[in-house]
Amino acid sequence: MKQHILSENQSILHVFLNEIRSVEVQGDPLRFRANIERIGEIMAYELSRSLDYSPTSIQTPLAVKDSLQLDDQIVLGAILRASLPFHQGFLRMFDRAENTFLAAYRQSDSDGSVHTVLNYAASPNLDGKTLILCDPMLATGQSMVDCLNLLKEYGKPKHVHIVGVIGSVPGLQFVSENVPENTTIWLADLDDHLNEKFYIVPGLGDAGDLAYGEKLGGD
């Protein structure tokens, strides 16, 4: 299984990561969503370099140009609701992709543990396709694994790409140990640990609330 942490290299990505983390900037929901979307576009480009292509020829008004065409059949997956702007960034790059949507949230138990509540899924057939599953925050990793397990009933992808804006070390380890071998994990940045409420530290807070406003119910 391959893992990619894009912040390990210098790029404009760091500017957008700084802004979504900064309490002085992230209070503007429009800018927060735009930055998440731009991070999605950057990550989609980087991920696209790992996909399969074949030769093609393009007829221009003047001559024929040899080029490449994308062979992978892409399915973009979004875990509602925080994933929507992140998913949109990928959709701008893979504009002919099919899409799958899942509704999932964390529920706290009386003993202090958490479990994932999944109450909606809409997906095309995944057999032989390349699934890119987007979730901006990879905290415990449990909801990501649960969503992948749910999607098994829709078919077996050729390859799975898990993409997140910020992940935690324990979340990355959990996902790595609980997903199929044909999986690649992409993170824009990786943080050290989780707090007692299972939020990533230093993280950025609640991505869904920052993008769309505070909610009642769920975690």
Q: Cα dihedral sign for 72, 77, 83, 87?
A: positive
Alpha helices (runs of H) in 49-196, residue ranges in sequence order: 84-93, 142-151, 169-177
Q: What is the mean pLDDT of residues 42-69?
A: 98
Residue 18, phi then psi, degrees to nearest 5: -60, -40
Q: Given pLDDT bands bounded at 50, 70 and 90, which one contains residue 117?
A: confident
Residue 202, phi then psi, degrees to nearest 5: -75, -25
β-sheet bridge partners, residue 105? 117
Q: Checking DSSP bridges between strand 193-194 and strand 200-201, what pairing results, if any?
A: antiparallel
> In this predicted structure, which of 68-72, 111-115, 169-173, 214-218 has the lowest mean pLDDT?
111-115
Checking if the pLDDT of 25 tops 90, the result is yes
DSSP 9: S
Domains along the sequence of the chain with CATH: 2-52+69-212 (3.40.50.2020)
Checking if the pLDDT of 218 tops 60, the result is no
C-alpha radius of gyration, the chain, whole number: 18
Would you state the pLDDT for residue 107?
Answer: 64
pLDDT, one tens digit per residue, over 83-115 is 999 999 999 999 999 999 998 766 665 565 556
Would you state the pLDDT for residue 215?
Answer: 78
Checking if the pLDDT of 17 tops 70, the result is yes
Would you state the pLDDT for residue 111?
Answer: 62
Would you state the pLDDT for residue 137?
Answer: 96
Checking if the pLDDT of 48 tops 90, the result is yes
Checking if the pLDDT of 41 tops 70, the result is yes
- CA 63/CA 42 separation, integer angstroms: 32
Would you state the pLDDT for residue 23?
Answer: 96
Mean of all residue pLDDT scores within the chain: 93
Whole-model pTM: value is: 0.92
Verify cis geometry, omega within 30 degrees of 0, for the bond prior to 31: no
Between 217 and 181, name the one with better pLDDT.
Answer: 181
Would you state the pLDDT for residue 106?
Answer: 65
pLDDT, one tens digit per residue, over 118-152 is 778 999 999 999 999 999 999 999 999 999 999 99
